[in-house]
């Protein structure tokens, strides 16, 4: 007996739509998987650990991080030619990650009071911290000064005054970068472009806003101009925009020296190097990224070598991570087969937020079925709750199978939510055949602790 849906469902052997992303194993598309990913007798292994064993021990959905992959890419950035490398913690951060960053000799870029406190609690040297963020609160600025943060990146005129006041009250002089917008639009999703003239970040060079910000810093003796900062966007795979941005920032720095006698010894040109999410996509290598920036600076500042800082995040941790799901149901729609997993937009927001695209592969066995047009969907009450919208998956995938989605190390855990009161997944690191928890799985009890049950609010409290 056939249901109405199955009569119209894609059948095995049916021609697949043009451009449909294939399911990709570590052997067929190593560029999207952690460096140590291997298929052994049909079972997917990372760091020498079988993923089905991890699922049995820790449950799913589960974030898995290949420590060796992260360390390899951290060292590639250290060798890229930049004078200083800041790990952009907004991509992924926890206490264990802070320790990895520290042990690899990187600086740390934080962009909230919470990230700053986590770094401080883990014992990271505050002098090696750069504090980013839009609209930092007075409390956050005071905390940065109190902790002895190396550099605060100022993003608006109000912040300059508030930071100067905080430093004055503490009897300190605080180093700052002034963040500028050079008017370069990165070739990326609009939500990831940050260097144009009409963005919320920093001070536009056009119209003199950036110059006035530098002069405002120079006017406050509690602040010291340590450098200029710019970041044009994320998931960049072409270098032309990077070179142009560096040239414009360099020209701005040259103008400061010429018109005001203000020297700038360090330029931080951010991060944004792109990684592959689908088979065949390119990765912008650290050496290529840094060389493109140096080229632009050399054009604008010939014969002058300023110190160059960079802030990679995604390109260090992105392909080091994957997400492991258990298939709960498989059903046919009119156009696609829906493979439903025990996660979704609560642990993988990027597909909904940026229309980001991923691939997937079975982790517990070899699926030998014919490829069929499918979608990997989540468990939430939203039509946009889709992990992989269009993919050619084997038609013998069934409930109980494990699916691994690669390249989820960046912006998945940090953007995870409790939508539909869903507890957030655990994070586990693997290396040399061993697994170590980085973050515990959230529990229903963790969620219950936040309930206030109508507790009265004292409106007269200070």
Q: Catalytic residues, which ones?
A: 381
| 43-46 vs 38-40, strand pairing mode | antiparallel
* Residue 374 and residue 367 in contact, taking contact as beta carbons nearer than 8 Å: no
* Residue 103 and residue 93 in contact, taking contact as beta carbons nearer than 8 Å: no
DSSP E strands, 35-124: 38-40, 43-46, 49-50, 62-66, 84-88, 107-110
Question: How many beta carbons lie within 10 A of that of residue 83, not counting itself?
Answer: 13
Distance CA 66, CA 69 (A): 5
Which residues does 383 contact at the CB level (< 8 Å), separation at least 6?
Answer: none
Distance from CA of residue 198 to its chain's centroid?
A: 23
Distance CA 129, CA 1 (A): 64
Distance CA 28, CA 316 (A): 22
DSSP E strands, 290-344: 307-310, 321-332, 337-341
Q: 346 in helix, strand or coil?
A: coil
8-state DSSP, 21: E
Q: What is the DSSP string of 195-244?
A: -SSSSSSSEESGGGHHHHHHHHHHT-TTEEEEEEE---BSSB--SHHHHH
- State the Cα angle at 143 between 142 and 149, rounded to 5°: 105
* Residue 55 and residue 326 in contact, taking contact as beta carbons nearer than 8 Å: yes
Which residues does 435 contact at the CB level (< 8 Å), separation at least 6?
Answer: 47, 49, 54, 57, 428, 429
Question: How many beta carbons lie within 10 A of that of residue 55, not counting itself?
Answer: 20
Q: Which of 320, 229, 230, 316 is nearest to 274 (CA)?
A: 316
Alpha helices in 219-333 (DSSP H): 240-260, 286-300, 314-317
């Amino acid at each position: 007996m056939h249901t109405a849906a199955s009569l119209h469902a894609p059948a095995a052997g049916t021609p697949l739509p043009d451009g449909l992303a294939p399911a990709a194993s570590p052997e067929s598309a190593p560029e999207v998987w952690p460096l140590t990913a291997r298929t052994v007798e049909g079972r997917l292994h990372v760091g020498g650990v079988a993923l089905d064993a991890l699922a049995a021990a820790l449950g799913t959905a589960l974030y898995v991080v290949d420590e060796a992959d992260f360390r390899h890419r951290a060292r590639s950035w250290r060798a890229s030619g930049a004078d200083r490398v800041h790990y952009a913690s907004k991509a992924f951060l926890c206490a264990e990650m802070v320790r990895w960053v520290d042990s690899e000799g990187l600086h740390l870029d934080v962009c909230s009071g919470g990230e700053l406190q986590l770094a401080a609690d883990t014992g990271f040297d505050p002098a090696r911290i750069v504090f980013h963020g839009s609209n930092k609160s007075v409390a956050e600025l005071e905390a940065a000064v109190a902790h002895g943060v190396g550099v605060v990146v100022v993003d608006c005129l109000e912040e300059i005054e508030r930071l100067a006041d905080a430093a004055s009250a503490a009897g300190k002089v605080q180093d700052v970068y002034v963040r500028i917008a050079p008017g370069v639009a990165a070739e990326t999703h609009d939500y990831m472009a940050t260097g144009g003239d009409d963005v919320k970040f920093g001070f536009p060079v056009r119209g003199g806003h950036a110059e006035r910000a530098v002069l405002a810093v120079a006017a406050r003796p509690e602040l010291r101009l340590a450098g200029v900062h710019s970041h044009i966007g994320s998931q960049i795979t072409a270098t032309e925009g990077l070179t142009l941005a560096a040239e414009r920032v360099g020209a701005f720095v040259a103008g400061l020296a010429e018109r005001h006698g203000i020297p700038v010894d360090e330029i931080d040109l951010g991060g944004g190097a792109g990684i592959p999410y689908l088979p065949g996509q390119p990765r912008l290598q650290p050496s290529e990224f840094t060389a493109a920036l140096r080229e632009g600076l050399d054009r604008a500042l010939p014969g002058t070598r300023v110190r160059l800082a960079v802030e990679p995040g995604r390109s260090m941790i992105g392909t080091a991570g994957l997400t492991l799901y258990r298939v709960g149901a498989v059903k046919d729609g009119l156009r696609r087969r829906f493979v439903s997993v025990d996660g979704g937009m609560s642990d993988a927001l990027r597909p909904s937020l940026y229309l980001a695209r991923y691939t997937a592969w079975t982790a517990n066995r070899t699926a030998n079925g014919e490829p069929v047009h499918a979608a990997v969907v989540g468990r939430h009450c939203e039509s946009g709750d889709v992990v992989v919208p269009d993919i050619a998956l084997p038609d013998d995938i069934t409930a109980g199978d494990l699916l691994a989605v690669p390249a989820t190390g960046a912006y998945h855990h940090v953007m995870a939510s409790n939508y539909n009161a869903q507890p957030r997944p655990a994070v586990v690191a693997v290396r040399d055949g061993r697994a170590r928890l980085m973050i515990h799985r959230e529990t229903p009890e963790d969620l219950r602790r936040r309930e206030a049950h109508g507790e009265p609010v004292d409106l007269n409290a200070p």
